[in-house]
Structure 1
């Protein structure tokens, strides 16, 4: 069985408002940042994705109700318009001079359930519940799932040809200086060509958005059960995704900081980690490792370089630097058993850089920081192909996908 990728009728901001309407993903902003953006810009899509800042009371029901009211209001006031024909949309993001170009489309929930759309991460039930209820209350998927595929020359040729011959529907730079460009594809022959080419691809892979995909699956089951006139063509059988080739994605390191040395003195700590790592003074500071199985460590205003002494493993998860650090240092030496829930560990996304480790350790009462070599996209694909799960906070992808450019209504 091969991947099904289809065009859809998008709900989208009218041309001219897309820059101020669209917003970062729902989970990257703090509440005070959301309030500030909305106060400046009442036409922000954050009023749908982060409606808790405007809800009349602090209950889930009130939050979903407010999100739905705000979405309906955007439609009623003409801020959002509905495309009359199903379309694919080419989406290009350019950051720091490098681009990733792919497609907005919808993909099959059934294929996600069967493992044709592969995952590499565990989900949390509470976050799944929230996303499922958001979809059901709004009758819409408001954020895309970030997917990748093993790069194919045929799809690149199609994209290059279309970009050469078409005008951009949207083109703007966001607050992080990422350029977003969108082209609408509605010609039947081009849509057919895209569908057919994707149909020769064995698997799609979730890069980011595991909770959104799981929620789309759960929402589909609920809607299907209530539907007395079910057919496979119903939009709730599909979820909205952005699909990029694997060789254009950029992964940044996901660094770690730890609150204390688990009762150890500095000398004891350094001695203990010497069992599995060669410990030396870093060649420069702040130090970022330039190859896998080496780590930067910041302790008492000094940078060290740690090199893992162990062998390569047959298991792709065991070869991940995040797993090596967890298994041979964070757990046995610092007693961090479950990095998902232990408050003594914190994760700093790669965009913030290694200077941020120094800042937290020097000024915020954290004891030790670790700079990581980024997980490679090939490692992620290998883990997913073996149906294994990566440790938490293994990857940080940049640039992030923009929310509010396209919305997928599911009924």
Structure 2
């Protein structure tokens, strides 16, 4: 059974929500980031870039303490307000034919530890500890873990009914996404949602493996330091955004490699021929449309690669995953890339226009060869998580990407 709890969110004053909400820090080009910080005093970016106030780059615990100070200033200036009662917070993001409707809640660290919350990615211990230290110092979390669950008609009915009401927030950001938020404060509705999820035996992490691992690490640390630990303290939970699996969008990450590991073009193609049927594409830009088929751009030409299944055998869920197949048949044995996280010869790109970007990068000589794939499916993610396996890095790029500062969870 999955445990979810309402919480007293700290969130923007209604008239400032559109100014506060920000994309992930890494998504901002340098010039845009500087412009937002200069001209929008309400942006959440001021909290996570606290050194801007002093025209100084800050690091480590000094930065963490300054983040905490900027956060307190937002509270003191009533940019942020705290709800009086624990609530769930329904949140919808939409643009064109993309629509994502889920809700913010607090999820149990015990569920994470007991594998009710399923993982499909490895985490890096150094990053876990760094973010756990960050959370400990700043005292809040503004970046929810994206969790998905199997579609459930009872949950869907509750959510749709709440979404028919007047939202607390309704605004459109400059990237043309519309954002709406509803506060679910009715005790009966909260109880009904909790009952539904108590009958749900699995939640899956779609995005946020390091955030959930860091929350777990922080909870263990605080439990050890608290002689009166009861299990009900806020640190026993972390903020999550729950969404049905049909409302997430999964994109592929393409791969680009700087060289052919000493092979000539012809030698490289001969190596590939052992495991793939290779066809040169004379019809321009090529993207694969089926599992176990890959697109390749090499020396100004597109190729389609069809896996020879009589040579490569499927043994488990991971072995069927295209990113794993590419790694085990080409990247590692032929191109000599053993560590997909650290090897600087390989780079990744995502998005619907990435095939063109990949071509441009290779044509400029920055890379020698590129591979494009079809997106991983939610069924593959669940199968690998259920088997206790982990995907290769950069196997999925998942939307929605949630705005920071919409709801904040205090420890």
TM range (shorter): over 0.9
**Shift of residue 364 of structure 1?**
5.2
Residue of structure 2 in register with 1:22 after alignment: 21
What SS class does the counterpart of residue 330 from structure 2 fall into? helix
The SS at the match of 2:255 is: strand
Within-5 A mapping of 1:260-409: 260-282=259-281, 284-310=283-309, 313-363=314-364, 365-409=366-410
RMSD: 1.7
1:14-163 alignment, distance < 5 Å: 14-29=13-28, 33-51=32-50, 56=56, 58-163=58-163
Cα distance, 1:26–1:326 mapped onto 2, change above 3 Å: same
Runs of 5+ in structure 2 lacking a partner?
none
1:230 maps to what in 2? Answer: 229
Write the distance in 1 (CA, Å) between the matches of 2:181 and 2:283.
42
C-alpha distance in 1 between matches for 2:300 and 2:257: 15
Residue-by-residue CA offset, 1:301-358 (whole Å, 9 max, x unaligned): 2111111112562411111110111100111111111111100000002254211111
Q: State the 1:57 CA deviation.
A: 5.3
Shift in Å at residue 405 of structure 1? 0.3
Residues in 2 aligned to 1:239 and 1:346: alpha-carbon distance in whole angstroms: 32
Alignment deviations for residues 277-309 of structure 1 (CA, whole Å, 9 cap, x no partner) = 111123643211111111111111211111111
Q: Superposed, which structure 2 residues align to 1:200-215 within 5 Å?
A: 200-215=199-214
CA distance in 1, matches of 2:377, 2:39: 39
SS state at 2:183 partner: strand
Alpha-carbon shift at residue 211 of structure 1 (Å): 0.8
Q: Secondary structure at the match of 2:319?
A: coil
Contact 2:93 2:99 in 1 (8 A): yes
Distance 1:32 1:223 in 2: 39
Partners of 2:255 and 2:289 in 1: CA distance: 17
Give, in angstroms, the shift of residue 231 of structure 1.
2.2
- The count of aligned residue pairs is 408
Aligned to 1:219: 218
Aligned-residue offset at 1:52:
5.8
Give the unaligned 5+ runs of structure 1. Answer: none
Change in 2 beyond 3 A, CA 1:376/1:54: farther
TM norm structure 1:
0.95
Distance 2:29 2:232 in 1: 38
* Cα pair 1:54 1:66 within 8 Å, conserved: no
Partner SS for 2:400: coil
TM-score, structure 2 normalization: 0.95
- CA apart distance, 1:101: 1.2
What is the CA-CA distance between 1:225 and the residue it aligns to?
A: 2.3
Q: 1:109, 1:237 within 8 Å by CA — same for their partners in 2?
A: yes
8 Å Cα contact 1:120/1:389 also seen in 2: yes
Is this contact kept in 2: 1:34–1:53, CA < 8 A? Answer: no
Quote the residue 2:6 is aligned against. 7
Q: Distance in 2 between matches of 1:112 and 1:205?
A: 10
* Mapping 1:239-258, distance limit 5 Å: 239-258=238-257
1:180 paired to 2:176: no
* Structure 2 residue aligned with 1:192: 191
Secondary structure at 1:92 match in 2 = strand
Moved more, 170-179 or 123-132: 170-179
Q: Which has the larger displacement, 302-311 or 385-394?
A: 302-311
- In 1, the alpha carbon distance for the partners of 2:81 and 2:374 equals 44
The DSSP-based 3-state class of the residue aligned with 2:193 is: helix
The whole-number CA distance in structure 1 between the counterparts of 2:48 and 2:202 is 29
User: For 1:26-66, what per-residue CA distance to the aligned partner results, in whole angstroms no more than 9, with x for missing partners?
Assistant: 44345554333212222211222344655745430111111
- Per-residue deviation at 1:20? 1.7
Counterparts in 2 of 1:145 and 1:296: CA distance versus 1, 3 Å = same
